[in-house]
């Protein structure tokens, strides 16, 4: 475990009292954000996000499998995070510890609960075959604020994901193909999907060839995280700030300015006023980050 020198802790809080941070940023200010998409060839979608020195890679894999019995016509998504020892001297190999599980679940909720992926459009044959979407988050370099980096990487990766129907079509029988064609007709009406996901083979007209097409998505909420050090609320904490933080609050807001997910972490507490302050900062920063995200996917 990293031991924080008391001097560093005191210096960060002393600076905060003067309205300053160790890297010269304002309390609400993020470090530079870079998003690079399509970085993994083998993945159906991928993105590498850098926030300052923090780097997170997210890859999306898809497969065909059975739906849950209670939701026979919806696709299935799952999210996992690996805190690989590559990213920090304090990360250990082995099964995911609670930090990695919390991160994966918060990213998962941000996507699932606001129905960013239109899972109901990922049904092939009701009750039998649906698309499975696996979101895998790989931490590459840990310098604080993994929540925002991971959720942004997941969104950028999902927004550039192509449903790999061309690879899977051979696994579908006649019934599945007919059912899937009907589903495709629905998906094709989704705004934003402008390339034809299927076409017919003119030569013998018996075989349907199908192109990969973008994952059906809606405008996602953006997560912004602040930490509390003494009585100060700082956004996008770097590692030195994060390890002395008392409390952490993540707020995901959508493009209409509504709140879509929240998560409070660590053993400190927030007052109602502080929570309002975080929401305000999350809205302001969320707008800026949304622009960067849209730019990265060529929108």
Contact flag: residue 138 with other proteins (CB under 8 A): yes
Nearer to other proteins (CB atom), residue 33 or residue 262: 33
Strand-pair partners of 76: 132
CA distance 292 to 35: 8
Least separation in angstroms between residue 260's CB and other proteins is 26
Nearer to other proteins (CB atom), residue 60 or residue 111: 60
Question: Of 58-66, 172-180, 192-200, 285-293, which part binds other proteins (CB under 8 A)?
Answer: 58-66
CA distance 80 to 120: 22
What's the distance, CA 20 to chain centroid? 30
Contact flag: residue 69 with other proteins (CB under 8 A): no
Contact flag: residue 14 with other proteins (CB under 8 A): yes
Report which of 227, 226, 220, 296 is spatially closest to residue 253, judged by C-alpha positions.
220
Please, which of residues 192-251 interact with other proteins by CB under 8 A?
239
* Residues in contact with other proteins, shown as a per-residue x/- string from 70 to 109 under the rule CB under 8 A: ----------x-x-xxxxxx---xxxx-------------
Q: Which of 28, 143, 241, 254 touches other proteins (CB under 8 A)?
A: 143
Which pair of structure tokens corresponds to residue 210? Answer: 């199908």
Contact flag: residue 134 with other proteins (CB under 8 A): yes
What's the distance, CA 37 to chain centroid? 13
Contact flag: residue 170 with other proteins (CB under 8 A): no
CA distance 241 to 230: 11
| Angle at CA of residue 152, ends 188 and 129, nearest 5° | 40
Question: Of 9-17, 65-73, 195-203, 222-230, which part binds other proteins (CB under 8 A)?
Answer: 9-17
CA of 271: how far to CAs of 13, 232, 275, 277, 278, in Å? 19, 12, 6, 10, 11
Contact flag: residue 10 with other proteins (CB under 8 A): yes
Least separation in angstroms between residue 29's CB and other proteins is 17
Q: Give residues with Cβ within 8 angstroms of 206, minimum separation 6.
A: none
Site residues, other proteins (CB under 8 A) = 3-11, 14-15, 18, 20, 24, 39-43, 46, 53, 55, 57, 59-61, 63, 80, 82, 84-89, 93-96, 134, 136, 138, 140-143, 167, 239
């Amino acid at each position: 475990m990293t031991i924080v020198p008391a001097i560093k802790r005191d210096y960060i809080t002393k600076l905060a009292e003067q309205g300053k941070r160790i890297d010269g940023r304002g309390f609400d200010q993020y470090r530079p954000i870079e998003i690079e998409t399509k970085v993994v060839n083998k993945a159906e979608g991928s993105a590498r996000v850098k926030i300052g020195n923090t780097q997170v890679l997210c890859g999306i894999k898809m497969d065909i499998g059975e739906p849950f019995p209670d939701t026979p016509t919806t696709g299935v998504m799952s999210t996992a995070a690996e805190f690989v020892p590559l990213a920090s001297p304090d990360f250990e190999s082995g099964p995911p510890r609670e930090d990695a599980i919390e991160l994966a679940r918060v990213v998962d909720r941000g996507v699932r609960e606001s129905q960013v992926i239109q899972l109901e459009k990922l049904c092939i044959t009701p009750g039998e075959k649906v698309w499975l979407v696996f979101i895998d988050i790989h931490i590459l370099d840990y310098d604080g604020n993994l929540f925002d980096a991971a959720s942004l990487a997941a969104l950028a990766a999902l927004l550039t994901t192509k449903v790999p129907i061309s690879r899977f079509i051979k696994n579908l029988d006649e019934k599945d193909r007919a059912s899937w064609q009907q589903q495709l007709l629905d998906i094709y009406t989704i705004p934003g999907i402008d390339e034809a996901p299927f076409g017919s083979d003119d030569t013998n007209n018996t075989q349907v060839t199908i192109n990969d097409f973008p994952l059906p998505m809606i405008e996602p909420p953006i997560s912004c995280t602040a930490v509390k050090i003494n009585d100060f609320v700082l956004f996008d904490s770097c590692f030195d700030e994060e390890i002395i933080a008392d409390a952490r609050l993540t707020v995901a807001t959508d493009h209409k300015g509504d709140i879509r997910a929240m998560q409070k972490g660590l053993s400190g507490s927030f007052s109602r006023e502080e929570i309002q302050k975080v929401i305000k900062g999350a809205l302001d920063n969320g707008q800026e980050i949304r622009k960067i995200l849209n730019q990265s996917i060529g929108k």
